[in-house]
Amino acid sequence: MSRRITSATILVSLACSVTMVLAGCVPILGADPRFATYSGAKPQGVATTTPPPSGPPPIAAPKNDLSWRDCTSQVYGNAAIPAAPGIKLECASFDSDLDPLNGGSGSITIGVVRARSGQTPRDAGPLVFTTGSDLPSSTQLPVWLSHAGSDILRSHPIVAVDRRGMGMSTPIDCRDHFQRDEMRDQSQFQTGDDPVANLSAISNEATTSCTDVIAPADSAYDNGHAASDLERLRNLWDVPALALVGIGNGAQVALTYAGSRPDKVARLILDSPVALGVSAEAKAEQQVKGQQAALDAFAAQCVAINCALGPDPKGAVSALLSTARSLRGSGTSVASIANAITATLGFPTADRIGTTTTLANALAAARGGDMNQLSNLINRADGLQDTDGQFVNSCSDAVNRPTPDRVRELVVAWAKLYPQFGTIAALNLVKCVHWPTGSSPQLPKDLKVDVLLMGVQDDPIVGVDGVAQTAATVINANAASKRVMWQGIGHGASIYSSCTVPPLVGYLTDGKLPGTDTYCPA
């Protein structure tokens, strides 16, 4: 036996010496036979395993779908814009548990709208779109499609999900006409010298009315419950993960979903985000900074096109607001005018020059005593951003609200820092001071996908600070991000800038972020 082993060793050693020059060889006497392997050998009785695919989950098509009906003309009509050619809009709804987070019973109906074009693959998974409480997703979807959003339909359908009590979801009707008017006017025309006290009394009445209407679910309208509605949709579709794009408050909803269900996210696009957990005061100051920046950009554009407000557009706006503020009996409140300016710039219906011209003409006519054009803008702003559903949802999301005394301090301080919008921004904080306090949102700890961040340089709805704050949150959750910034005026870079869409489409395709940050011109 010993002799045969020696002979075999000699033969292998000779073979090794012949081939070593060509390929190299480890001397056999140096090898430990316990670890000798043969790459082609497979242990008997052991199943072959395939390593899991790298990268984020695919965007899967629903295995079970909703009952869709054509609603193209209805949705475009609600948004008051012409229908985009070749795009079909379909509406559906689903029931979601009313309060699954707190074990409550009952259900609530959530409205959704799906957009497809003739180029949309029939087996493509959807991109889920939410604008949260900023305005109904079903209202902003057709606006997106009238710009560059239709390019996304070449690869994916878009499904817009309305927040509870808003848009095509079951609406909330809980404030009476007097309460709505007083809150819109910030109690400007009531007697007395303490607008905080006057507005606090009205907001207390409105809070009582609304919590009575939605009882016992007065804690079921925050970001966490909006995220649970997305999870209900995912379960109905029976897909492993969702591709999400959230704008403004919708970005909070999407990030809340991703933080609580990291394995259920295929893509995560956060456009014009408000940072999770930011206090009500900080959020309001970020917005008022955005309002002032948007007004400055509007004024510069106004001068460039020789608009109706003359050589000093910002001064003309200040004069109009000052006149409205001095009214004591009745008329158009300063808050209504400011909200109209904010909504017109934040949700433009034309290009930058067209929007500038429309707003300048309305403000100039109002200074001359003709309120018709400005009244139309005020009514549009109220319809977009002052429904009862928005009041309930936005107050449910407001955390660390300031006291009335703190608001009084902010009225003085912000009036100096932000001359056109500061006082109004401070008083807006009173609207939610009586709303039941909810739980603070939990920041994500371990995101499973990289995040595409977007923002707008002059965003009068949420400002721009939330982009950097959300980037920090993403880093702390062990994920990477890249930014796509639009240097324009509006709310939602992906909505109004065609330059932002190619990075978005590329990210949807393979889940890989752009190599660098992107800056899109106005």
Consecutive sets of 10 residues in the chain, 522 residues long: mean pLDDT of each?
A: 37 35 37 35 46 75 98 95 94 94 84 97 97 98 94 97 97 97 95 94 98 92 96 98 98 97 98 96 98 98 98 97 86 96 97 97 97 97 97 96 97 98 98 90 94 98 98 98 98 97 96 97 94
Closest CA to 195 of 302, 46, 334: 334
Are the C-beta atoms of residues 13 and 28 closer than 8 Å to each other? yes
Nearest-angstrom CA–CA distance, 396 and 401: 11
Strands 127-130 and 87-99: unpaired
Closest CA to 144 of 113, 118, 166: 113
Structure-token pair, residue 341: 């300016």
Strands 104-117 and 87-99: antiparallel
Domain assignments of the chain as residue spans, ordered by start:
69-164+220-277+440-520, 177-216+279-431
For tokens 């199943």, the residue is 47
pLDDT on residue 27: 38
Closest CA to 400 of 427, 431, 437, 428: 437
Structure-token pair, residue 36: 């000798």
Cβ neighbours around 373 below 10 Å, total: 17
Are the C-beta atoms of residues 140 and 492 closer than 8 Å to each other? yes
Are the C-beta atoms of residues 420 and 338 closer than 8 Å to each other? yes
Contact partners, residue 20, CB within 8 Å, separation at least 6 = none
pTM, to two decimals? 0.89
Question: Residue 119 gets which letter from DSSP?
Answer: T
Contact partners, residue 111, CB within 8 Å, separation at least 6 = 91, 92, 93, 138, 161, 162, 167, 168, 169, 170
Cβ neighbours around 22 below 10 Å, total: 7
Are the C-beta atoms of residues 282 and 463 closer than 8 Å to each other? no
CATH C-level class of 69-164+220-277+440-520: alpha beta
* 319-321-325-328 Cα dihedral, nearest 10 degrees: 90
3-state secondary structure at position 355: helix
pLDDT on residue 441: 83
Closest CA to 292 of 424, 432, 134: 424
For tokens 């609603």, the residue is 71
pLDDT for 322-358, tens place per residue?
A: 999 988 767 899 999 999 999 999 999 999 999 999 9
Q: Which helix (H) or strand (E) holds 226?
A: helix 223-237
CA distances from 485 to 246, 292, 420, 460 (A): 15, 19, 26, 15
For tokens 């970020």, the residue is 286
CA 405 to chain centre: 31
User: 165-201: string of b/e by CB count within 10 Å (b at 16+)?
Assistant: bbbbbbbbebbeeebbbbbbbbbbebeeeebbebbbe
Quickly list H helices, 261-371.
280-304, 313-325, 334-346, 352-367
Closest CA to 272 of 134, 160, 390: 134
Are the C-beta atoms of residues 347 and 80 closer than 8 Å to each other? no
Cβ neighbours around 218 below 10 Å, total: 19
Structure-token pair, residue 235: 């379960």
Are the C-beta atoms of residues 350 and 358 closer than 8 Å to each other? yes
pLDDT for 70-109, tens place per residue?
A: 999 999 999 999 999 999 999 999 999 999 877 777 899 9
* 502-508-514-518 Cα dihedral, nearest 10 degrees: 40
Nearest-angstrom CA–CA distance, 300 and 518: 24
Closest CA to 376 of 334, 420, 332: 332
pLDDT on residue 54: 65
Contact partners, residue 235, CB within 8 Å, separation at least 6 = none
Are the C-beta atoms of residues 333 and 281 closer than 8 Å to each other? no
Are the C-beta atoms of residues 235 and 465 closer than 8 Å to each other? no
Q: Which helix (H) or strand (E) holds 138?
A: helix 137-146
pLDDT on residue 23: 37
